[in-house]
Amino acid sequence: MSQKPKIIVSVTLPPDLRDRLAASCDIIDVPVGQRPEEVLSAETRAQVSGMVCTMKTKIDTGLLEALPALTVSSNFAVGFDNVDVAAATSRKVLICNTPRVLDGAVADVTIGLMLCLARNLVAGDAFVRSGAWTKGAFPLTRDIRGKTLGLLGMGRIGRVVARTAQAFDMPVIYHNRREDPEAKGLATYVGRDELFKTSEVLSVHIPLSAETRHSVGKRELSLMKPTAYLINTARGPVVDEAALIEALRAGSIAGAGLDVMEQEPLPASSPLCELPNVVLQAHVGSATHETRRAMIDLAVNNLLDALGGKQPVAMVNPEVWRARA
Ligand code: 8YV
CA distance 298 to 51: 14
CA distances 253 to 178, 235, 266, Å, are 27, 20, 22
User: With 80 as the cut, is the pLDDT of residue 316 above it?
Assistant: yes
Tally the domains of the chain: 2
Check the CA dihedral 316-320-324-325 and report its sign: positive
- 79 C-alpha vs ligand 1 centroid, how far in Å? 7
Residue 285 lies in a domain: no
- Asked if residue 229 and residue 207 are part of one domain, the reply reads yes
Q: Which whole number is the average pLDDT over 246-260? A: 98
Q: Which whole number is the average pLDDT over 304-319? A: 98
Of the residues 262, 280, 298, the one at which a domain ends: 280
Residue 1 lies in a domain: no
Q: Residue 2: which pLDDT band, with cuts at 50, 70 and 90? A: confident
Residue 189 lies in a domain: yes
pLDDT tens digits, 39-94:
999 999 999 999 999 999 999 999 999 999 999 999 999 999 999 999 999 999 99
User: With 70 as the cut, is the pLDDT of residue 209 above it?
Assistant: yes
Q: Is the CB of 76 under 6 A from ligand 1?
A: yes
- Asked if residue 303 and residue 243 are part of one domain, the reply reads no
Q: Is the CB of 77 under 6 A from ligand 1?
A: yes
Residue 296 lies in a domain: yes
Check the CA dihedral 276-282-283-286 and report its sign: negative
- Asked if residue 148 and residue 137 are part of one domain, the reply reads yes
pLDDT tens digits, 223-243:
999 999 999 999 999 999 999
Q: Is the CB of 286 under 6 A from ligand 1?
A: yes
Q: Is the CB of 54 under 6 A from ligand 1?
A: yes
User: With 70 as the cut, is the pLDDT of residue 152 above it?
Assistant: yes
- Asked if residue 258 and residue 216 are part of one domain, the reply reads yes
Residues involved in catalysis: 235, 264, 283
- Asked if residue 229 and residue 208 are part of one domain, the reply reads yes
Contact 278, 258 (CB under 8 A): yes
User: With 70 as the cut, is the pLDDT of residue 1 above it?
Assistant: no
User: What is the pLDDT at residue 325?
Assistant: 83
The residue contributing the CA closest to ligand 1 atom 10 is 77
Residue 120 lies in a domain: yes
Burial 202-218 (b: 16+ CB within 10 A, else e): bbbbbebeeebbebbbe
Residue 266 lies in a domain: yes
CA distance 267 to 272: 9
- Asked if residue 125 and residue 269 are part of one domain, the reply reads yes
- Asked if residue 111 and residue 93 are part of one domain, the reply reads no
Domain around 260: 103-280
In terms of Cβ atoms closer than 10 Å to its own Cβ (0-12, 13-18, 19+), residue 310 is exposed
Contact 232, 256 (CB under 8 A): yes
Q: Which of 12, 238, 259, 286 to mutate to test the pocket of ligand 1 (most atoms within 8 A of CB)?
A: 286
pLDDT tens digits, 163-199:
999 999 999 999 999 999 999 999 999 999 999 999 9
- Asked if residue 108 and residue 238 are part of one domain, the reply reads yes
The residue contributing the CA closest to ligand 1 atom 2 is 77
- Asked if residue 136 and residue 55 are part of one domain, the reply reads no
pLDDT tens digits, 131-142:
999 999 999 999
Residue 47 lies in a domain: yes
- Asked if residue 240 and residue 166 are part of one domain, the reply reads yes
- Asked if residue 63 and residue 127 are part of one domain, the reply reads no
**CATH number of the domain that residue 175 is part of:** 3.40.50.720
State phi, psi for 113 to the nearest 5 degrees. -65, -40
